[in-house]
Structures are given as C-alpha cells and as structure tokens.
Amino acid sequence: MGEKGNARRHLYEEAKELGILVRDEAGEPYMMPNTAFDVAMLDFTNPEASSWFKGILRGMADEGVSGWMADFGEGLPLDARLHSGEDPVAAHNRYPELWARVNREFADEWKSEAGEEDGLVFFVRAGFRESSRWAMLFWEGDQMVSWQANDGIKSSVVGLLSGGLSGIPLNHSDAGGYCTVDLPLLRYRRSEELLMRWMEVNAFTVVFRTHEGNKPGSNCQFYSNSRTLAHFARCAKIYKAWEFYRVQLVKEAAEKGLPVARHLFLHYPEDRRVQKLTYQQFLVGTEMLVVPVLDKGRTAVTAYFPTSDGGSWRHVWTGEEFGGGHRSGHGSVGEATVHGFEAEVSADVGCPAVFVRVGSPVGERFVRNLRDLGVI
C-alpha cells in the first residue's frame, strides 16, 4: 500500500484494528499465501465484519459500480479461530454461504434504497448447500487455457452441466480460460482458435464474459486482431439474439431451480445415449440444443438428437431439419438408437452447431433476431 500514491484507505489495517479478521492460534490475523502475496479473511461470524464490508460495497455502488466478482471464500483454514467460537472444520463449508449472503444483503438493501429497477449483480465461485439462496450468479473458477477434459474448455462444460444438476442454475466460465503456464519446458498459452471456440460456448450461457488470464501477454485476447474482434462481436450478437429467452429462463431458475444451460438428462432421463453424455452437448432451456466444437482443428461435430418426444430440430444456420429417425438434406446419419440418432454436422468457426425445436416460437424468434442482427 505504501507504493500506491493515490490510496485512500488501507483496508487491511482497518480490518486488523477493528478485530474483524479470522485469527490464528496465537490470536493474530491468519495470513494465507495467495499468488505472490499473503492475505487475511474477514470473520463473517462477527456481525461487525459484515457491516464494515457492506460499507466498502456502498462506496463502490455510490461511485457507479453495478457489479463485481465476489471471489474466493473457499479457503477458511481448518485450524482458524473464529469470533463465534465454532469449530473451523464445521465452519469451513459454511463460510462461502456467509460470503455470498453479505454480498446479497447489501445488493438487496441498495436496490431497495435506490429504487433502481435493475439493481446490482455479483458472482461467486465458492459455495455450499445454501449458496444458491444468496448468490446471484456463479462462475466456475480458473480453467487452463487448453482443450483438455480435466481442466480446459471441456471441463468448463462439465462444470456448467454438473453445476446445473447440483442446484447452481446460473453459471458460466471465463471465455478462453484463465490459467496460463509459460515456462521453457511447459507451455499452456491461449490460442486464437481456442478463444474463438470458447466464445461460441459461452454465447449460450447466462453470462458472456472474457478474461485476459493470469498472463495476458502470453494469451490471444478478443482484441488481439481484426479476426478476434469480429468474432467477439459476432458471438455477442448471438448472445443478444436469445436475450428474450434468457430472461424467461432466469425467472424459471428463480422459481423452480432449473438451470439455464441443461444436461439433456433433465428432459430425457430414460435415454441411455443421453446418460453417457458429459461435455459433448447441452440444452438451453428446452428449445435450443448446442453442440460445441471442443477439439483443436475440428470443423464438424457429432450431434445426438433425442426423438422420444417426437420432435425435430432445425439447424439455425442452414435450416436443415433433424428428426423422426432421419436427417433431411445431405450427409451421413449415425446408427439409430432406441430414443434418437446421431448425425455429423458441420461447425465452422463462427457457425457453431446450434439447433432449435421445429415449430418452437422461441426458436423462430431466435432465428429472426439472428437475421436482424446480421449474423445469418
């Protein structure tokens, strides 16, 4: 802080003096390593900590900030000392709930006082059983800038869908991933292709948001060149085109807990082919089906179309229909299953494999909006 000439407050020193930090066995602020520096945590079992922190948020909102990332929350040490005196092992999973709650309480209080229709928004990454009660939005944390299934673009879809099945209905990831490794013998750097494909995935999640990553200079960014800028604009328009449906789905999530982006299992639970799906495809609500490209160098995907409900699906870019046990138009069709069939579908960069239900008012409006925005 001493190196920052424009600093107005030293928040750590304020919190330390007020005695509202989580403490160690010696009764001192519990300092924990975080990247290149150490940090302390606010002790939200102390009501004074909540009041103090809300004051910080109020200063932000009064300055015009309308949203923020309520990061971390998962790191309460198991040997910490808390104001409440409770067992830190038991409190460890409760802490992210308290973290989300204090942010939500302020957002609700500010909206009530200000009378604003839209209010404030924040998103969290840590959570436990009651987190969805308090958190407005979730984010999946820091994926690698890679194509990997264990911690890259594929894992972002796994997290999106498993979260949706676990009571986290409003969720998203950083478009392009976050964690970069740029060492002589080990390199994970975000390529232009990876960034573009990740944008296509996130254009169909509840939030469309990029991140430079932990090493911005080593990664391709949305502003790197004319191609990335144009693709970012295109995906933003795609995201805009289903805004009307997103509003409906967010309301449904609030009322019923159903996620915006859904594993097909929620609507086709008896389909054995659906049961085997992990990251390959997902539904947006019930009216849109997304089959993203998640592998380097691919320009086509294998899509599975469940047909147990008798419906058909229309490709938004080509208008081709898939349903009734066959595909209209040209191309090979995979071996039929009991409840559906597979088909190889082209998916060039900028035209991901996205389908809408035939006859769906939502699908018709989405396609119409895409045309109006110049995407089709």
Q: Catalytic amino acids?
A: 71, 74, 142
Q: Of 300, 23, 311, 292, whose CA–CA distance to 161 is shortest?
A: 292
Other CB atoms within a 10 A radius of the CB of residue 70 amount to 22
Contact partners, residue 150, CB within 8 Å, separation at least 6: none
Distance CA(195)–CA(61), nearest Å, equals: 32
Check residue 287 and report its DSSP letter: T
Vertex 107: Cα angle to 77 and 168 (nearest 5): 60
Question: Whole-angstrom Cα distance, residue 104 to residue 222?
Answer: 31
Cβ 15 vs Cβ 42: under 8 Å = yes
- For 274, the enclosing helix (H) or strand (E) is helix 272-275
Measured in degrees and rounded to the nearest 5, phi and psi for residue 117 equal -75, -40
Q: Report the C-alpha gap between 175 and 158 in whole angstroms.
A: 15
| C-beta separation of 144 from 186 below 8 A | no
Strand partners, 38: 33
DSSP per-residue letters across 321-369: EEETTEESSSS-BPPP-SSEEEEEEE--TT--EEEEETT-HHHHHHHHH
Question: How many Å apart are CA 56 and CA 38, to the nearest integer?
Answer: 21
